[in-house]
Amino acid sequence: MVSILILGLGWSSLFLTDLLSSDEHHRYTYAATTRDGRNDTIPWTLSDDPTAIDVSCLPDAETILVTFPVKNAKVMKAFVDAYDKKKSDNKQSPAQWIILSSTRPFTAPDINNRHSPLDSSVDNNRIPSEEVVLERNGTVLHLAGLWGAQRQPKNWVSRFAIEEKLKGKLLVRQLHLIHGKDVARAVLATHTGFQKAAGQRWIVTDGGCYDWLRLFCTWASSDQLQILQHLLDHDHEVQQKWGTSQTVSALVEKDDVTPRLDSSDFWTTFALEPKEFLSVE
């Protein structure tokens, strides 16, 4: 039996496998799946049909880490039932279930913590499946913006090239992040301290937030900066938010953007601190 079975070995999971392969944590074993079995993984796909769930190729594991969204609650229920029956047939305890999710459903304009209501209009197909796992004493980690290795926020700036997209970042300037290395540490802490996690949703960020305007000032093109200034000078909604006679640089210098997501419960509960932070320079 392995310690952790990673369903869907993607970008974030590679940080976890690196951590589990380190000298400090090599006692934790793992297996992983991909659709095509690349990189010595188990070729496996979760069926869309709840009557056709096949777990026969999956090894027994203490913890199941689901890295991809499951958007059918009936499929999730059938999957959990099938896997836990497999373990029961092997005279083993039910698995510990960890779902990796996003922070998108936390949409309140003020501070959101893990107890804040979820916006059912966002990720609404995902939430019912998560509830299935929570009812089985699993846990959901709501991850902020993922970065690290080749995934660098500096490279995201160019995606916001038109006025509509730049206006959105002017109105909501907070950028919440979590580095892949800290995601890996969070998953391992959840695995080892699962009794504290069971049946709970958690928000996982690096504890603060970044200002999209600061990123634009540092890495945007001159055309993007001109559009931002035009919005500050002429857009009524933007001026209602930040006032008139503002400049991009002056807003950044105020350094008054505060987090909308509070992840302190997670780090306190598991006696951890995030270690990786973005440098905007």
Name the nearest CA neighbour of 14 among 161, 34, 102: 34
Name the nearest CA neighbour of 217 among 166, 183, 172, 179: 166
Pairing label, strands 174-175, 96-102: unpaired
Residue ranges of the domains in the chain?
2-148+177-208+259-269
Name the nearest CA neighbour of 85 among 119, 136, 43: 136
Distances, alpha carbon 115 to alpha carbons 153, 196, 198, in Å: 28, 15, 15
Q: Going residue by residue through the chain (281 aa), what tens digit of pLDDT does each one get?
A: 999 999 999 999 999 999 999 999 999 999 999 999 999 999 999 999 999 999 999 999 999 999 999 999 999 999 999 999 999 999 999 999 999 999 999 999 899 999 999 998 988 789 999 999 999 999 999 999 999 999 999 999 999 999 999 999 999 999 999 999 999 999 999 999 999 999 999 999 999 999 999 999 999 999 999 999 999 999 999 999 999 999 999 999 999 999 999 999 999 999 999 999 999 99
**Two tokens at 73?**
């609650």
Are 152 and 269 in contact, with CB atoms under 8 Å apart?
no
| Domain 2-148+177-208+259-269, CATH homologous superfamily name and number | NAD(P)-binding Rossmann-like Domain (3.40.50.720)
Predicted TM-score (pTM) of this structure: 0.96
* Rounded Cα distance, 53 and 83, in Å: 9
Rounded to 5 degrees, φ, ψ at 172 are -130, 95
How far from the centroid of its chain's Cα atoms is residue 207's Cα? 14
